[in-house]
Structure 1
Amino acid sequence: MAITVPGEWRPLYRGPMHPPAHPPTPIKGNAAGVPFTALPPAAGGAAPLIVTWHMLDAPRSDAAFAAALPMAGVPAWRVHLAMPMCGARMVGGSTDAIVALFQKDPLMSFLNPFVEQATEELPAALESIRAQLPVGDGPIGVLGGSLGGAVALRVLAETETPVFAGAVVNAAIRMRSVVELFPGEYPYDSETEQVVDRLDFVAKADAIRAPLLVVSGEDDHPALRADALDLVAALGQRSELLSIPGLGHPLADDPGIEPAPQLPLAAEVDAGLTAWFRGQLARAA
């Protein structure tokens, strides 16, 4: 397995990244109304911060995402935020309310408002996290999976939050591609065309303002896979691509709400993310 950059091959970062013998207990909390699962660095104490947003496929909660991608070898706090109506914010303890939203209108009732809300929640959540955990006030890392990837990309392209590096996994890079995964032909109009154009991060690649690792399962949805390759090409030397053979879209088994043992392919993603963020932290030091 290797991380590659367009036009060259580069091996994975080989620094020490072994997980601790006794992984730290996850910390459950709430940051300005956003539930989170935090994982401290192995050494404990003050350290940089990486903020993540989970998938809406499995793992579909902050706690489950933390279990799938713990990045235990990264010397940073990893704070996994719950997406809207997920984790402790589920309505009635199930995903039925989310299903009702995307059946009503996958773009305008589900995809777009979830990405907007999660992005808009970050400044207050970040202030609260810094008041609760010893993470300092320096630039953060950001990570998003699937729809959470669109949140991470919006933070990188559209906000002023200082970021030292980002990563996305099987991400919603072009929202039009995600809409096409839902049954039927979507009835676009002028408003919805503007929405999907605004959430096209290949077109907005020039605005992405930190180094980005793009993790893509080779068996992900073909359109999402193609978008990942297009984003890396658009970013050029500002990005790296990590392809995972055999990985489809999910990173965990259904139902994907509660923490579960890490799957072998998720472990490969985790190793790549660990190498990436360790390397970026070393460069930023």
Structure 2
Amino acid sequence: MHSPITGTAAGVPFTALPPADGGAAPLIVTWHMLDAPRSDAAFAAALPMHDVPAWRVHLGMPMCGARMVDGKTDAIVELFQKDPVKLFLHPFVRQATEELPAALESIRAQLPVGDGPIGVLGGSLGGAVALRVLAETDIPVFAGAVVNGAIRMRSVVELFPGDYPYDAETEEIVDSLDFVAKAATIADRAPLLVVSGELDHPGLRADALSFVEAAGERAELLSIPGLAHPLAEEPGIEPAPQLPVAREVDAALTTWFRRRLG
């Protein structure tokens, strides 16, 4: 087992895990949760997928990991307390998606991953990034997966305290991040595994089912008993020992991507 490789790709911090032989192989790109594990390094430890014959490059989300302000998450908390849609959810997903083309070019210059289609994986809010890559970019993807994904942003907003004061702008934003409505487009792009913890938030569980029903046979739903929303214990910033429920998710993702790599 090779040690993680850390670096930056066009300004985006990453933690890369090589395939078993450490040589040339396809690429899987991931985006972590904003719950634990909430950094690229911690996500790599929670879902390493060691037996997948591919490079797994875990990208850092905006203002997370090496990009935290003063080494803390306080700045993120301040943003979502002020306006979770305009200042947190939408700009984070948009920035992470828009960073990918340049980051991908840089990764290919640094690692022996070739220029073929990539795999994409996202957890929670990172899931919205993976889905947006599939729905709104032309980057070739051989397979995707989301874990407790933010599939409908309106459901995520409902997790914040109080009633969010929607206006025309924010209604348009959450509609643009409703991936159930874009399920057919996503299914045309790549097969998708939707992993949903049986103890995840009920709204997110319902969205996972709705997405798979809308996507048809190109999407598969996998429920994980005992899994709530996080995949790691708090604080979830540094790499930590893999929890048993995360190990089960990791095994499912490994099987999924191995099968799609043929």
Q: Same fold (TM over 0.5)?
A: yes
Match of 2:226 among 246, 256, 261: 246
| Aligned-partner Cα distance in 2 for 1:92–1:157 | 34
Return the offset for 1:44: 1.3
Q: Which residue of 2 aligns with 1:8?
A: none
Match of 1:103 among 81, 93, 109: 81
- SS of the residue corresponding to residue 45 of structure 1 reads coil
Q: Which residue identity lines up with residue 135 of structure 1 in the other structure?
A: V
Q: Which residue of 2 aligns with 1:279?
A: 259
Flag as ranges the 4+ runs of structure 1 deviating above 3 A: none
Q: Which residue of 2 aligns with 1:227?
A: 207
Match of 1:144 among 95, 105, 122: 122
Q: Which residue of 2 aligns with 1:79?
A: 57
The 5-angstrom pairing of residues 98-177 of structure 1 reads: 98-177=76-155
Return the offset for 1:199: 0.3
Return the offset for 1:187: 0.4
* Residue 197 in structure 1 maps to residue 175 in structure 2: yes
Q: Which residue identity lines up with residue 207 of structure 2 in the other structure?
A: D
TM-score w.r.t. length of structure 2: 0.99
Return the offset for 1:249: 0.0
Q: Which residue identity lines up with residue 102 of structure 1 in the other structure?
A: F
How many residues end up aligned between the 2 structures?
Answer: 260
| Aligned-partner Cα distance in 1 for 2:179–2:251 | 25
| Aligned-partner Cα distance in 1 for 2:86–2:158 | 14
Return the offset for 1:279: 0.2
- SS of the residue corresponding to residue 177 of structure 1 reads helix
* Residue 210 in structure 1 maps to residue 190 in structure 2: yes
Q: Which residue identity lines up with residue 104 of structure 1 in the other structure?
A: K
Deviation by residue 1:111-156 (Cα, 9 ceiling, x = unmatched): 0000000000000000000000000000000000000000000001
Q: Which residue identity lines up with residue 203 of structure 2 in the other structure?
A: A
Q: Which residue identity lines up with residue 127 of structure 2 in the other structure?
A: G
Return the offset for 1:24: 1.2
Q: Identity rate of aligned residues, in percent?
A: 83
Return the offset for 1:257: 0.1
- SS of the residue corresponding to residue 91 of structure 1 reads coil
Q: Which residue of 2 aligns with 1:18?
A: none
| Aligned-partner Cα distance in 1 for 2:48–2:259 | 17
Gaps of 5+ in 1: 1-22
TM-score w.r.t. length of structure 1: 0.91
- Aligned-residue RMSD, C-alpha: 0.4
| Aligned-partner Cα distance in 1 for 2:260–2:17 | 19
Q: Which residue identity lines up with residue 59 of structure 1 in the other structure?
A: P
Return the offset for 1:43: 1.4
Q: Which residue identity lines up with residue 181 of structure 1 in the other structure?
A: L
* Residue 40 in structure 1 maps to residue 14 in structure 2: no
| Aligned-partner Cα distance in 2 for 1:234–1:207 | 10
